[in-house]
Amino acid sequence: MNHKKLIKSLIPLCEQASEAIMQVYTSKDFAIRIKQDLSPVTKADLAAHEIIQKGLLDLTPDIPQLSEEDESTTFQQRQQWDRFWCIDPLDGTKEFIQQNDEFTINIALIEQHKPVLGIIYVPATKTAYWGSTQLPAHKQIDGQRSAQIRSRPLGQELIIAASRRHGQTRNDVLLKPLYKYFRRVHNQAVGSSLKMCLIAEGVADFYPRLFPTSEWDTAAAQAIVEAAGGRLVNATSLQPLAYNEQESLENPFFYVCGDPQFPLEEVALRRATPPA
């Protein structure tokens, strides 16, 4: 498939879904309900889902879709898929509800269990990130000319992309032995898949995720981070995350780093053998 043509079609689709999201966002009439997994969903999630589902069906009618907001797909069906779209119509619903602007649209193309193309769109700032196995990672702000982005090599300062809601104490314990390698260490708390976008564009260095996520939370970001020169790997095996290999759609814990030479083995060893 021609990834450049796909991106040209996905950008306006994300813009259309973004407009629907922002209409709800500015109205503050979210119609929040709690799903079975205890996560919130709003009418913005559902509106974006409908727009993206229809748009992808028109664009690629032969490619099935796996979306966070479609619970009808069974594992038996998914087992037959060699290629599919993996979608989070509104990643960071809690950030959306808190109105801090840190929520995204995530769309990834998966082939043979690997994310080969990803686009992340930030409705509040009209910013798009994308990358694929055919294209270097790019960033575009509000329809302006896009610019290629690249993750950065490690230097004297370590910037850790951290969740606003999960695991900072656990991260500090895990990473403390690494601090000796750096003159300064900073945490930058951000919501949704934006944490991984920061690594792709060379603003942050490392993101450890030791709390549950689902495959649609990481698929697009993994394609972008890898296209930018970084890594997104299983926290135990240190191998890239794989998709649609089992009935559960929950990811293992994972690490994201901008520099492939980041000492992940030392972090993994620290996690495997915590101090007494």
Read off the pLDDT of residues 213-245 as tens digits, 9 standing for 90 and up.
999 999 999 999 999 999 999 999 999 999 999
Does 101 belong to an annotated binding site? no
- Among 44-48, 71-75, 267-271, top mean pLDDT goes to 44-48
Does 91 belong to an annotated binding site? yes
Q: Which of 27, 169, 198 is nearest to 102 (CA)?
A: 198
Confidence check: pLDDT of 274 > 60: no
The DSSP secondary-structure symbol of 99 reads: T
User: Measured between alpha carbons, how far is 221 from 195 in angstroms, rounded to an integer?
Assistant: 9
Query: Which residues make beta-bridge pairs with 163?
Result: 190
User: Measured between alpha carbons, how far is 21 from 50 in angstroms, rounded to an integer?
Assistant: 11
User: Measured between alpha carbons, how far is 60 from 187 in angstroms, rounded to an integer?
Assistant: 40
- Percentage of the residues of the chain whose pLDDT score is greater than 90: 81
Does 202 belong to an annotated binding site? no
Could you tell me the sign of the dihedral formed by the alpha carbons of 242, 243, 246, 252, in that order?
A: positive
Does 70 belong to an annotated binding site? no
User: Measured between alpha carbons, how far is 89 from 215 in angstroms, rounded to an integer?
Assistant: 13
Does 174 belong to an annotated binding site? no
- Percentage of the residues of the chain whose pLDDT score is greater than 70: 96
- Residue 28 has a pLDDT of 85
Q: C-alpha 139: how far from its chain's center? A: 15
Confidence check: pLDDT of 15 > 60: yes
Strand, helix or coil for residue 203:
coil
Set out the domains of the chain in order of their start, with CATH numbers.
3-148 (3.30.540.10), 157-272 (3.40.190.80)
**Bigger pLDDT: 149 vs 35:** 149
Report, as an integer, the average pLDDT of 38-54. Answer: 95
Confidence check: pLDDT of 276 > 60: no
Confidence check: pLDDT of 100 > 90: yes
At residue 63, φ and ψ (nearest 5 deg) are -105, 120
> Which amino acid, one-letter code, is at 254?
F
Confidence check: pLDDT of 34 > 50: yes
Structural contact between residues 173 and 274, judged by C-beta atoms closer than 8 angstroms: yes
Q: What is the pTM of this model?
A: 0.95
- Residue 181 has a pLDDT of 84
- Residue 111 has a pLDDT of 98
Confidence check: pLDDT of 166 > 70: no
Does 92 belong to an annotated binding site? yes
